[in-house]
Structure 1
């Protein structure tokens, strides 16, 4: 959200780089005699959820015993998870069940052999919220190819803070950009604690946070593309303001030394060790922090996502795409389907909530789960502040043929942020204009290529002039 980072699943479907992935690994290698299975015919299950390792290790044992096959669970660190899948695919060794981090739209994954149809019982389908399966995102022609296990109601540009530091320094939870700067300055002036750390060494994480902050700050779209006109506008004032916030934090020396190169575990681990005021992270922070330093959990609090003037957050997210998929080369389709179906069970969803990672798709279970108060608060905020976005692929599944051809745009937003904070880029506005133009060209070229092959798609598919902020979009 990973996206790719953990938040960057198929829900976005606006990412650059799809064509590169398709060219590099768009076709599965022929299944070997043992297919995707592990040693001695075991079912292999991969994910990248750092806060869920204990749960998933236990779940693999329990489900394996119930379905009569050994389940081998493997955790891949988020920044390495996508490459691991690509290499496994090239070797014809995709895990039987994995998190859908490849970045290709569902129709392209199906066509290229990455994924296999999932068989779910009527009971499993009934457990999920109405509309959980969306044509083009999790199913095609009524056949299910991906399971959404998490809620689409979430955002990741959250200011987590240490209550022990807050009490010592005496600042209130910041809601505006100025409030956040003031709190960081107060920590710096106090002199006993480091104000903040961030994973500035991960372009994808910077992109995700700034995309969310910009939308909450007034950008009428997501991931640089406007909902109403379909135009790319990374140079919108809301993007400039959000990036300038990070620039001010960096320039004023509020960051722990080394933050410019920190990967996600580096930044989070140092904050979890204590003595640092703030850390920008997603809702999954408590689960990951618990695995690093359980003693930090009682000291965690969240100020929410800051906005320019402290106004309420209004966020918009598309329908959730596939979180879990089955490898097209699996030799254990029945057992893999049973493992994926187990993720719909209330006991798993409750345990998922207790893991305090992304909010589970069954949000009601959070009330029964063992979670810290800030996590429960966030889930409630998400339910109030996140609305359903329009998605081109939902209105026209032919859009997938263009998305699968879209070339990588470099430097991407995360690279621009890094370059500006590091001093390599001096004219931020121009760099963002260039990114908008390059993104627009990449989409136009992808549409032209898909149309030349008979796809019924054009730029109007990305235009939703009737979209309104703060309302669920209805097609």
Structure 2
């Protein structure tokens, strides 16, 4: 069989290609007519300002960026405005947004930095509610699936501050792999979940086959959230039943209300990452790249496996349509059955309107349209499983096939709705507003263990777990001091069946 041309290039050349790909995505240079198609954009429900203006929008890009680059020019032309779009990696958003808030230059519409609780953004005056800008907002909200809009999550003081166009029933740590490399290593992830030992063995064999030209596994190591995401999800699959979402949900076992960071399952997941490194199976230089750059290296033949999300599907389909890859569920520890993953009720990719924005009428008009069934169909047809549309009827009508359809089916099988303390007690939202992620965070601890700056997995995770417990205790105490009726017991759900969805009737039983 003739070798692919990219297998002969040097690692230096591959790295340059990845950096270039990341820069292109950051610059928002996706052609506006890629996946060409015109949209039927309806007239606004009420007259909009005739003064024009420039609306600035920033988010984490990927397939969202592909869609916006198609829609924004048409929407802007229909409303007599211009739209400036920046699709950037999360690492950049985490830096840019807080600085821009401080100096008054933040985009009109933006996503919050990872790990920041929305209640903090509201309390500190970063954002304003959408209510005055989305016509008939109560009727509009009622059309969304139950649980997408919740007090303390995206609604505060009776107002809607965050808008969600996508569902959160997905994971960002799927096993994505080169079909060729994995087959040559003797594995087929489609035959069933791979175990940790099989992942490790496959990575070794791929690396050996690569003979210095490609490696078993890659990660965007300088994007710190990737470390936590992998360990968190792998830990859940291994049996560390816990919540997802913000600080007041993430890593907490709702059977006892305690953090799971020091669990055996989290430790096993960290050890797997360290073993991939010590085996020599990790692509050299992972600490110098972010997630989009690592993802861009896969079709170039640099690595056999990556743990990322379904957003890769559309990007690879665009950039490397002939590359053969597969998507599968996260691996499971040896000798164990895969356990369900859990989401809190609510959507994802929440958009916030700057408190200082004067483009609210246009932003609200656009968001309102995107929340309609037709807007959701348009979204689903381009974005697919990368960021699934929140309207299930729209997803069904979008006619998705191939890897996108496979990913959505996989998520439906693997993911359940878990308890959400804020649904049980709205005063948990006050705790959320008081919360601060401890420093060093779990993400930084895992990254430090991988680089060798920190030593001792068990000791580090136990210390980290205690920091998180102390931080939540402090936030609860501060909330109570402000009059909140809340205790740590609000995080204990004795009627939680970890193999079933936790629906409204379960809250009524408490």
Q: Same fold (TM over 0.5)?
A: yes
**2-structure distance, mates of 1:151, 1:274:** 32
Structure 2 counterpart of 1:314: 340
Q: Which runs of 4+ in 1 moved over 6 A?
A: none
Q: Determine whether 1:183 maps to 2:210.
A: no
Q: Cα–Cα, structure 1 residues 413 and 112, in superposed 2: closer, same or farther, change >3 Å?
A: closer
Instruction: For 2:347 and 2:153, locate their aligned partners in 1 and report how far apart those are by CA, in whole Å.
Output: 5
User: 2:326 corresponds to which residue?
Assistant: 301
Q: 1:207: how far off? A: 0.3
TM-score of the two chains, using structure 2 as the length reference: 0.79
Is the contact made by 1:315 and 1:470 (CA closer than 8 Å) also made in structure 2? no
SS in 2 for 1:295: coil
SS of the equivalent of 2:233 reads helix
Task: Provide closer, same or farther for how the CA distance between residues 166 and 114 of structure 1 changes in structure 2, counting only shifts above 3 A.
Answer: same
Per-residue CA deviation, residues 437-475 of structure 1 (Å, 9 max, x unaligned), is: 111111111222222222222212222222221211131
Q: Say whether residues 1:132 and 2:161 are aligned partners.
A: no
Secondary structure of the equivalent of 1:255?
A: coil
Does structure 1 retain, via aligned residues, the 8 Å contact 2:167–2:347? no
> Residue 218 of structure 1 corresponds to which residue in structure 2?
239
Q: 1:428 to 1:365 in 2, by over 3 A?
A: same
Q: 2:228 aligns with which of 178, 193, 207?
A: 207
Deviation at 1:364, TM superposition (A): 4.4
1:423 Cα deviation after fit: 2.7
Are 1:360 and 2:389 an aligned pair?
yes
Alignment partner, residue 113 of structure 2: 101
**Preserved contact between residue 133 and residue 139 of structure 1 (Cα < 8 Å):** yes
- 119, 131, 145: which one aligns with 2:161: 145
Residues 85 and 102, structure 1, Cα contact 8 Å, conserved in 2: no
Distance 1:272 1:52, change over 3 A: farther
1 CA distance for matches of 2:124 and 2:309? 32
Matched, 1:257 2:292: no
Tell me, yes or no, if the aligned pair for 2:347 and 2:390 is still in contact at 8 Å: no
Distance 2:366 2:121 in 1: 20
Segments of structure 1 that go 5 or more residues without pairing to the other structure are 1-36
How do 1:279-358 and structure 2 match up within 5 A?
Answer: 279-290=306-317, 293-295=319-321, 298-308=323-333, 309=335, 311-321=337-347, 323-353=350-380, 354-356=382-384, 357-358=386-387
How many corresponding residue pairs?
436
Aligned mates of 2:94, 2:110 — CA distance in 1: 11
Corresponding position of 2:28 = none
Distance in structure 2 (CA, Å) of the matches to 1:74 and 1:472 = 37
Mapping for residues 154-173 of structure 1, pairs under 5 Å? 154-173=170-189
d(CA) in 2 for partners of 1:429, 1:103? 24
* CA 342–430 in structure 1, closer or farther in 2 if over 3 Å, else same: same
The whole-number CA distance in structure 2 between the counterparts of 1:204 and 1:105 is: 15
Secondary structure at the counterpart of residue 196 of structure 1? strand
| Aligned residue number for residue 86 of structure 2 | 74
Q: Please give the root-mean-square deviation of Cα atoms over the aligned residues, in Å.
A: 2.5
Picking from 456, 473, 489, the partner of 1:444 is 473
Q: Distance in 1 between matches of 2:102 and 2:155?
A: 25
Distance 1:116 1:87, change over 3 A: same
Higher RCO structure, 1 or 2 (CA under 8 Å, sep 6+)? 1
Secondary structure class of the residue paired with 2:321: helix
CA–CA distance in 2 between the matches of 1:454 and 1:164?
Answer: 60
